[in-house]
Amino acid sequence: MNDLSMASNTETKAFDVESIRRDFPILAQQINGKPLVYLDNGASAQKPVSVLDAMDRYYREMHSNVHRGAHTLGDRATAAFEGARETVRSFINAPSTREIIWTRGTTEAINLVANGLAPRLKEGDEILVSHMEHHANIVPWQMVAERTGAKVVPVQVTPEGELDLDSFSNLMNDRTRILAITHASNVLGTINPVADLIRQAKQQGVLTVIDGAQAVPHFKPDVQALDCDFYAFSSHKMFGPTGIGVLYGRAELLEQMPPYQGGGEMIERVSFERTTWNELPYKFEAGTPAIAEAVGLAAAIDYLNSFDHTALEAAEQALLTRANQLLETVPGMDIIGTAKNKVPVISFKIAGLHPSDIGTLLDQQGIAIRTGHHCAMPLMDFYGVPGTARASFAFYNTLEEVEKLFTGLQKIQRLFT
């Protein structure tokens, strides 16, 4: 490995939140004269210096287009780019890099799968999704269903925000062709028992598509252990750059699927009589890829791998536990989603206050949260609300910041009482 290669950091560091926070320069600033409390990680997480440095180094020292350059920079760029693919493969324990497809994010990955599986669908076939899905795991299936005559069927959730397993079992039938479900809800935080769902789906020959966007920032999925057919996630939610995501797919299924886009890289040979497709994974990667972003994603994974994942998960669960303890004492507080198994996300509403007002008034105190329907309108309809306020935590957040959120909400209440 030459001195410009993107090497992985295999050293495991002790969990020290103050040291970790120094790795994220954006957290040191002030907003409206107050120290930034960033609790919008479910929308997009911040980036450590190692990610920023890796992308800067790529552009300064090795930028070139990949795969076809007959020169040293091209070789360096290709090595870094394909090395990033191997880093992703290892992170999710995929069998081969042939099964790791670069996309622009989870949304494009799910669209790719939906369009690729469309030829398998016919009128009367059913696609199971859940009521807690992000629009990105609903709308692509609706579009494909409209073209093919298939039907999108929603699995119910319980009032606590857990998947209704009786509803799932009752809806799974001989017309079911695809199960598309989130690993963790972006609104409720609920971690679904996807391994069990996949096992039941497999027994009936149903293909499985897992939206892992909210899962991978908090724990490492093992696609072989899950035995899923497809798994999609985004870089920017797991401390990497925007503009790139990953689709894992079983090689035998990817081989059967038609290309999603046409152009350079995805071809083997072009003539006006006939075009043939490139081998996996390039068959689905038309055009110049997001090279620097792939390098940045690999650096983000290396950063996560430099810690004991158990320690990171424990720190995040401590934040979630404390936030629940404090917010439950706020008068008029209603927490949406109280599943037993959650990633550190809390959606809530407060009687008499509009979510957008809560967000604006917290921002005046330097506290960043998300408000609205969170691209999950069917779930909002289920709970009978137009939207919620949402605080989503990462391992670089502190218990002091949880206290600031609580204090901030108390101040807002005093303004309106």
Helices (H) and strands (E) in the chain, counts: 14, 17
Q: Is 375 a catalytic residue?
A: yes
List Cβ neighbours of 170 (8 Å cut-off, separation of 6 or more). none
Residue 181: strand, helix, or coil = strand
Containing 121, the helix (H) or strand (E) segment is none
DSSP for 17-63 reads HHHHHHT-GGGGSEETTEE-EE-BTTT-----HHHHHHHHHHHHHT-
6, burial (CB in 10 Å: exposed 0-12, middle 13-18, buried 19+): buried
Catalytic residue among 375, 377, 385, 399: 375
CA distances (Å), origin 2, targets 5, 79, 301: 6, 10, 21
Instruction: Say if CB 42 and CB 390 are below 8 A apart.
Output: yes
Instruction: Say if CB 113 and CB 265 are below 8 A apart.
Output: no
Cα distance between residue 55 and residue 6, in whole Å: 10
Residue 274 dihedral angles phi and psi, to the nearest 5°: -165, 140
Containing 299, the helix (H) or strand (E) segment is helix 291-305
Catalytic machinery residues: 375
